[in-house]
Amino acid sequence: MEIQYFQNLSSTQLFLLEKIRSGELSNEVLIWTEHQTAGIGSRGNEWIGEKGNLFFSFSKKISSEIPKQSLSLYFALLFKKTLQDLGSKLFLKWPNDFYLQKKFGGVIANISKDFVIVGIGINRKEVESFEKLDLEIENLEILEHFAENLKELPNWAELFEDFKLDFEKSRKFSINSKNSKISLEDAILNFDGSVTVENCKYFR
Ligand code: BTN
Protein backbone atom coordinates (compact mmCIF):
# COMPACT_ATOMS: atom_id res chain seq x y z
CA MET A 1 0.00 0.00 0.00
CA GLU A 2 1.34 3.42 -0.94
CA ILE A 3 2.04 5.68 2.06
CA GLN A 4 1.75 9.44 1.44
CA TYR A 5 2.87 12.10 3.91
CA PHE A 6 1.36 15.59 4.15
CA GLN A 7 2.90 18.43 6.14
CA ASN A 8 -0.58 19.43 7.26
CA LEU A 9 -4.17 18.59 6.42
CA SER A 10 -7.48 19.70 7.88
CA SER A 11 -8.67 16.06 8.18
CA THR A 12 -7.02 13.00 6.66
CA GLN A 13 -10.42 11.28 6.85
CA LEU A 14 -12.40 13.94 4.98
CA PHE A 15 -9.59 14.37 2.48
CA LEU A 16 -9.56 10.68 1.59
CA LEU A 17 -13.35 10.37 1.58
CA GLU A 18 -13.57 13.24 -0.90
CA LYS A 19 -10.89 11.72 -3.16
CA ILE A 20 -12.78 8.42 -3.26
CA ARG A 21 -16.17 10.12 -3.73
CA SER A 22 -14.94 12.24 -6.65
CA GLY A 23 -13.28 9.24 -8.30
CA GLU A 24 -9.84 10.90 -8.11
CA LEU A 25 -8.65 7.90 -6.10
CA SER A 26 -9.68 4.33 -6.74
CA ASN A 27 -6.91 2.39 -5.07
CA GLU A 28 -5.73 1.50 -1.59
CA VAL A 29 -3.61 4.22 -0.06
CA LEU A 30 -2.58 5.46 3.38
CA ILE A 31 -2.18 9.17 4.01
CA TRP A 32 -0.76 10.68 7.16
CA THR A 33 0.23 13.89 8.82
CA GLU A 34 1.48 15.16 12.16
CA HIS A 35 -0.47 18.38 11.86
CA GLN A 36 -4.22 17.97 11.47
CA THR A 37 -6.25 21.11 12.02
CA ALA A 38 -9.94 20.05 11.83
CA GLY A 39 -10.13 16.34 12.56
CA ILE A 40 -13.37 14.45 13.02
CA GLY A 41 -14.05 11.83 15.67
CA SER A 42 -16.74 9.27 16.30
CA ARG A 43 -20.37 10.28 17.06
CA GLY A 44 -19.95 13.59 15.24
CA ASN A 45 -17.30 14.84 17.67
CA GLU A 46 -14.22 16.81 16.76
CA TRP A 47 -10.82 15.21 17.02
CA ILE A 48 -8.48 17.83 18.33
CA GLY A 49 -4.86 16.87 18.13
CA GLU A 50 -1.77 18.84 18.93
CA LYS A 51 0.91 19.21 16.27
CA GLY A 52 3.32 16.28 16.45
CA ASN A 53 0.73 13.57 17.03
CA LEU A 54 -0.08 10.87 14.49
CA PHE A 55 -3.12 11.24 12.27
CA PHE A 56 -3.79 8.89 9.38
CA SER A 57 -6.48 7.43 7.15
CA PHE A 58 -6.38 4.62 4.66
CA SER A 59 -8.66 3.11 2.04
CA LYS A 60 -9.15 -0.62 1.85
CA LYS A 61 -11.45 -2.69 -0.40
CA ILE A 62 -14.30 -3.97 1.76
CA SER A 63 -14.20 -7.65 2.61
CA SER A 64 -17.65 -9.20 2.97
CA GLU A 65 -16.25 -11.47 5.68
CA ILE A 66 -16.03 -8.63 8.23
CA PRO A 67 -19.33 -7.54 9.84
CA LYS A 68 -20.05 -4.10 8.27
CA GLN A 69 -20.95 -2.45 11.56
CA SER A 70 -17.74 -3.69 13.15
CA LEU A 71 -15.30 -2.46 10.50
CA SER A 72 -13.84 0.13 12.88
CA LEU A 73 -13.48 -2.54 15.59
CA TYR A 74 -11.76 -4.87 13.11
CA PHE A 75 -9.16 -2.30 12.04
CA ALA A 76 -8.73 -1.09 15.62
CA LEU A 77 -7.84 -4.68 16.54
CA LEU A 78 -5.42 -4.96 13.65
CA PHE A 79 -3.69 -1.71 14.60
CA LYS A 80 -3.62 -2.75 18.25
CA LYS A 81 -1.87 -5.97 17.21
CA THR A 82 0.73 -3.95 15.26
CA LEU A 83 1.47 -1.76 18.30
CA GLN A 84 1.63 -4.80 20.59
CA ASP A 85 4.09 -6.50 18.23
CA LEU A 86 6.21 -3.34 18.50
CA GLY A 87 6.14 -3.58 22.31
CA SER A 88 3.19 -1.48 23.45
CA LYS A 89 1.15 -2.55 26.49
CA LEU A 90 -2.07 -1.02 25.15
CA PHE A 91 -5.50 -2.54 25.17
CA LEU A 92 -8.58 -1.76 23.13
CA LYS A 93 -11.49 -0.40 25.08
CA TRP A 94 -14.58 -1.57 23.24
CA PRO A 95 -15.36 -0.52 20.58
CA ASN A 96 -12.71 1.89 19.30
CA ASP A 97 -10.52 3.50 21.97
CA PHE A 98 -6.83 2.79 22.41
CA TYR A 99 -6.03 2.74 26.12
CA LEU A 100 -3.17 2.56 28.56
CA GLN A 101 -4.19 4.14 31.88
CA LYS A 102 -6.20 6.62 29.84
CA LYS A 103 -7.35 6.96 26.27
CA PHE A 104 -4.56 7.89 23.87
CA GLY A 105 -6.15 7.20 20.51
CA GLY A 106 -9.23 6.24 18.56
CA VAL A 107 -10.56 4.89 15.28
CA ILE A 108 -13.41 5.78 12.93
CA ALA A 109 -14.55 4.06 9.75
CA ASN A 110 -16.73 5.25 6.88
CA ILE A 111 -17.86 3.35 3.81
CA SER A 112 -17.60 4.94 0.38
CA LYS A 113 -18.24 3.00 -2.83
CA ASP A 114 -16.60 -0.38 -2.30
CA PHE A 115 -14.00 1.00 0.11
CA VAL A 116 -13.83 1.35 3.83
CA ILE A 117 -12.00 4.51 4.85
CA VAL A 118 -10.44 4.08 8.27
CA GLY A 119 -9.09 7.00 10.28
CA ILE A 120 -6.82 6.59 13.29
CA GLY A 121 -5.50 9.24 15.65
CA ILE A 122 -2.78 8.48 18.20
CA ASN A 123 -1.28 10.80 20.81
CA ARG A 124 2.48 10.88 20.68
CA LYS A 125 2.67 13.85 23.04
CA GLU A 126 1.17 13.99 26.51
CA VAL A 127 -1.59 16.60 26.71
CA GLU A 128 -3.88 17.42 29.61
CA SER A 129 -6.08 14.44 30.47
CA PHE A 130 -4.76 12.27 27.64
CA GLU A 131 -1.88 9.85 27.60
CA LYS A 132 0.58 9.08 24.83
CA LEU A 133 1.66 5.88 23.11
CA ASP A 134 4.22 3.96 25.20
CA LEU A 135 6.70 3.51 22.32
CA GLU A 136 9.72 5.53 21.16
CA ILE A 137 9.38 4.68 17.49
CA GLU A 138 9.03 7.06 14.55
CA ASN A 139 5.52 7.41 13.15
CA LEU A 140 6.61 6.30 9.69
CA GLU A 141 8.06 3.10 11.11
CA ILE A 142 4.76 2.32 12.87
CA LEU A 143 2.86 2.93 9.64
CA GLU A 144 5.19 0.74 7.60
CA HIS A 145 4.63 -2.14 10.03
CA PHE A 146 0.90 -1.57 9.91
CA ALA A 147 0.88 -1.45 6.09
CA GLU A 148 2.54 -4.89 6.12
CA ASN A 149 -0.29 -6.21 8.33
CA LEU A 150 -2.84 -4.70 5.96
CA LYS A 151 -1.51 -6.71 3.01
CA GLU A 152 -3.15 -9.98 4.00
CA LEU A 153 -6.03 -9.37 6.32
CA PRO A 154 -6.55 -11.94 9.06
CA ASN A 155 -10.06 -13.28 9.22
CA TRP A 156 -12.59 -11.77 11.56
CA ALA A 157 -12.87 -14.89 13.74
CA GLU A 158 -9.14 -14.85 14.45
CA LEU A 159 -9.05 -11.20 15.54
CA PHE A 160 -12.29 -11.53 17.45
CA GLU A 161 -10.96 -14.51 19.42
CA ASP A 162 -7.95 -12.43 20.50
CA PHE A 163 -10.22 -9.60 21.59
CA LYS A 164 -12.31 -11.68 24.03
CA LEU A 165 -9.70 -11.36 26.79
CA ASP A 166 -9.19 -7.64 26.19
CA PHE A 167 -12.92 -7.12 26.41
CA GLU A 168 -12.80 -7.97 30.12
CA LYS A 169 -10.91 -4.67 30.61
CA SER A 170 -13.84 -2.80 29.05
CA ARG A 171 -16.27 -4.01 31.71
CA LYS A 172 -15.43 -1.20 34.12
CA PHE A 173 -16.53 1.36 31.49
CA SER A 174 -19.90 2.60 30.30
CA ILE A 175 -21.12 3.62 26.88
CA ASN A 176 -23.35 6.57 26.11
CA SER A 177 -26.70 5.74 24.59
CA LYS A 178 -29.15 8.56 23.91
CA ASN A 179 -29.31 10.29 27.28
CA SER A 180 -28.17 7.46 29.50
CA LYS A 181 -25.01 5.64 30.42
CA ILE A 182 -24.98 1.87 29.89
CA SER A 183 -22.54 -0.08 32.03
CA LEU A 184 -20.56 -2.80 30.28
CA GLU A 185 -20.15 -4.75 33.53
CA ASP A 186 -22.56 -7.52 32.55
CA ALA A 187 -22.43 -7.04 28.79
CA ILE A 188 -22.35 -10.01 26.45
CA LEU A 189 -19.87 -9.64 23.61
CA ASN A 190 -21.47 -11.01 20.43
CA PHE A 191 -19.59 -12.59 17.52
CA ASP A 192 -20.52 -9.67 15.22
CA GLY A 193 -18.58 -7.29 17.52
CA SER A 194 -21.68 -5.80 19.13
CA VAL A 195 -22.56 -6.05 22.83
CA THR A 196 -25.87 -6.98 24.41
CA VAL A 197 -26.92 -5.25 27.63
CA GLU A 198 -30.35 -5.97 29.10
CA ASN A 199 -31.63 -7.37 25.80
CA CYS A 200 -30.49 -4.34 23.78
CA LYS A 201 -27.78 -4.66 21.17
CA TYR A 202 -25.16 -1.92 20.70
CA PHE A 203 -22.41 -1.56 18.12
CA ARG A 204 -20.97 1.48 19.88
C1 BTN B 1 -12.58 8.77 18.18
O2 BTN B 1 -13.47 9.64 18.24
O3 BTN B 1 -12.19 8.17 19.18
C4 BTN B 1 -11.96 8.43 16.84
C5 BTN B 1 -11.09 9.55 16.35
C6 BTN B 1 -10.39 9.29 15.03
C7 BTN B 1 -9.55 10.49 14.65
C8 BTN B 1 -8.75 10.26 13.40
S9 BTN B 1 -7.34 11.32 13.31
C10 BTN B 1 -7.06 10.81 11.68
C11 BTN B 1 -8.40 10.71 11.00
N12 BTN B 1 -8.78 12.00 10.46
C13 BTN B 1 -9.82 12.53 11.08
O14 BTN B 1 -10.34 13.63 10.83
N15 BTN B 1 -10.25 11.69 12.05
C16 BTN B 1 -9.46 10.46 12.07
pLDDT at 50: 84
pTM over 0.85, yes/no: yes
Minimal-distance CA residue to ligand 1 atom 16: 119
With a 6 A CB cut-off, is 105 part of the ligand 1 pocket? no
Domains of the chain, by residue range, sit at: 2-159
With a 6 A CB cut-off, is 117 part of the ligand 1 pocket? no
Low-confidence residues of the chain: pLDDT under 70: none
Query: Residue 42 C-alpha to ligand 1 middle, in angstroms?
Result: 7
Biggest CA pair distance of the chain: 47
pLDDT at 129: 72
pLDDT at 21: 95
With a 6 A CB cut-off, is 10 part of the ligand 1 pocket? no
pLDDT at 179: 80
Spatial separation of the C-alpha atoms in residues 23 and 117, rounded to whole Å = 14
Domain covering 2-159, topology: BirA Bifunctional Protein; domain 2 (3.30.930)
pLDDT at 152: 94
